[in-house]
Structure 1
Amino acid sequence: MPEKQPIPSAWTRPKRHREQPALSREHIVSEAVKLLDAEGIDALSMRRLGARLGAGATSLYRHVANRDELIELVVDEVYGEIEVPGPEDLESWRVAVIVCAHGARAAILRHPWLVSVLGQAGLAYLGPNVLRLNDRMLALFEAAGFGTREADQALGTVMAYVIGIGISEAATLTMLGRSGQDEREWQDRLRPAAEEAARDYPRLLDQFAEHAREDPRKIRDDDFAYGLERILDGLENRPAS
């Protein structure tokens, strides 16, 4: 029987103990996040990153096997920014889940490139920050009376909502960033064309008029909170199994 190949992951490959002075995996990951935030996922390459660090790509390969492994590492780095209160820290599991969901959304909006790699093939999701978040979220649902399997399903449902909304918001904000306009400017420029296109649809016209009076960011925040609350309503009032 042929020998099984190890899972290709930054978290399963043995670490090399000899570290080049002034260059470490942590430093490489930190600089990679800065590069991604500034220029997006298409700009990430070992050669480009090495140039930012003042090191050749060969030096980076002593610490990170390849670009896919680097992506695993930066994803886990961002997950480390997400707060997950323990069930004992707040008055209810629901409040704790809301805190975590809002934290995950905020992380996506700070690092919009994240949504383009979350589903990338090969990501093992074995990093310490990912595991910490998932374990503590499962603990919240178990504290609410969810069984082991149902807690996993509830966690998947909440995170699918957060990531789905995040994809849309990150795409919009990335587009606006490239245009040099803020959300209000874009909304004001778009409104005449939108109202003309919707002139035979009175409900849409009413929505456009209402949105024109509000801050676009507040609309996004309110919409996210509304959807999250309704998901948690459903989970909290689920039929007894």
Structure 2
Amino acid sequence: MAAKRSDIPGKRAQPMQDRSEPPLSLERIAGTAVELLDAQGVSGLTMRKLADRLGSGVMSLYWHVDNKEDVFDLALNLVLEYHGPPQVDKSQDWRAEVVHMLEDWRASMLRHPWSASLLPRRALGPNILNRLELLSKILSGAGVADADLNIAIWSLWNYVMGATITRASFDLTDDDMAAAQQCLTRLSEHYPTIERSRLLLDNDWDGAFRKGLDFLLDGLSPR
């Protein structure tokens, strides 16, 4: 993250801002960037649009961030903040802690679908690192050997990211799904198993995520 320009010797005074708006800050820039990304997606965020939403000039914005990449980092870090379960039960099973954190992670990205496309190349923000550190501590405390810890972490990462991206991009209507299933029924000679399970009509995304997570955690449970 870039240093504030006011901390750099020899720089001129910070540009003036519309006094009807609150002062610019990294927190306000991040929050406004999230709003803009939610509304217009990654391709819709420009420094000019962000400055307009903030009620500031572009040069004032550049006083706090170096470029659009900084803005993406701030916005992604904000939506991935994790506060933990509402009430911490010291006796609760380690699986409950993992499930809560991963369900929260998925829900956060589904509320802001653009975040899933940014995260793979921005995995070093403080809040995603905090999640990974917490996940590592829980799994290690549950008995996952250090030799297997990275495999466990990346397996859960891949599961959450894959489930999120699939759900966020799957925009078929109920009628579309019914038509696809009817087509599959006509082709049942070739695809008997997925036709019998009515795969294309199954839209219990949350239930499938939780059950699939249970399958993974079963494999991680100490023998």
TM-score range, shorter chain: 0.7 to 0.9
Confirm or deny: 8 A CA contact 1:86 1:136 kept in the other structure: no
TM-score (structure 1 length as normaliser) = 0.75
Aligned match of 2:110: 109
Do the aligned residues in 2 keep the contact of 1:87 with 1:93 (CA within 8 Å)?
no
> Are the structure 2 counterparts of residues 53 and 145 from structure 1 closer, same or farther at C-alpha, using a change threshold of 3 Å?
same
For 2:148 and 2:123, how far apart are their aligned partners in 1?
22
Aligned residues of 2:143 and 2:222 also touching (Cα < 8 A) = no
Question: 2:5 and 2:55 mapped to 1: Cα distance?
Answer: 21
Give CA-to-partner distance per residue, 1:188-211, whole Å, 9 cap, x none.
Answer: 244135313431314343333x87
How far apart in 2 are the matches of 1:195 and 1:90?
Answer: 49
Aligned counterpart in structure 2 of residue 141 of structure 1, from 131, 139, 142: 139
Compared with structure 1, are the counterparts of its residues 226 and 193 closer, same or farther at alpha carbon in structure 2 (3 Å cutoff)?
closer
Letter in 1 for 2:124: Y
For residues 63-104 of structure 1, give each alpha carbon's deviation from its aligned partner in whole angstroms, at most 9, with x where no partner exists: 111111111111111111463699964511111101111111
What TM-score, normalized to structure 2?
0.81
Write out aligned runs for 1:126-137 (5 A): 126-127=125-126, 129-137=127-135
Contact 2:144–2:222 under 8 Å retained in 1: no
DSSP 3-state at the match of 1:198: helix
Q: 2:186 aligns with which of 199, 206, 210?
A: 199
1:223 aligns with 2:221: no
Structure 2 match to 1:7: none
Q: What CA distance in whole angstroms lies between the structure 2 residues aligned with 1:233 and 1:87? A: 23
The answer on whether the counterparts of 2:25 and 2:64 sit within 8 Å (CA) in structure 1 is: yes
Distance 2:130 2:137 in 1: 11
Taking a change above 3 Å as real, the CA distance of residues 92 and 72 of structure 1, as seen in their structure-2 partners, is same
Superposition pairs of residues 28-67 of structure 1, within 5 angstroms:
28-67=29-68
- Residue 25 of structure 1 is matched in structure 2 by 26
Partner of 1:5: none
User: Percentage identity across aligned positions?
Assistant: 33
Checking the alignment, whether the CA contact within 8 Å between 1:199 and 1:205 is kept in structure 2 is: no
Cα 1:204–1:134 shift into 2, 3 Å:
closer
- Give the superposed CA RMSD: 2.7
List runs of 5+ in structure 2 lacking aligned partners.
8-13
| Aligned match of 2:124 | 125
Instruction: Give ranges in structure 1 of 5+ residues lacking alignment.
Output: 1-9, 177-182
Please identify, of 187-196 and 66-75, the stretch whose mean Cα deviation from structure 2 is larger: 187-196
CA distance in 2: counterparts of 1:70 and 1:89, whole angstroms: 37
User: For residues 75 and 114 of structure 1, what CA distance do their matches in structure 2 show?
Assistant: 6
C-alpha contact (below 8 Å) 1:93/1:140 kept by paired residues: yes
What is the rounded CA distance, in whole Å, between the counterparts of 2:54 and 2:141 in structure 1? 45
Q: Which amino acid aligns with 2:3?
A: P
Which one is further off, 153-162 or 98-107? 153-162
- 1:236 offset after TM fit, Å? 1.0
1:237 deviation in Å? 4.7
User: Hey, what's the Cα distance between the residues in 2 that align with 1:105 and 1:57?
Assistant: 33
Superimposed CA distance per residue, residues 25-72 of structure 1 (whole angstroms, 9 cap, x where no aligned partner): 110100000111112111111111111111122111111111111111
Distance 2:4 2:154 in 1: 31
Closer/same/farther in 2, CA of residues 83 and 204 from structure 1, 3 Å limit: same
How many angstroms apart in 2 are the aligned matches of 1:90 and 1:109?
Answer: 30
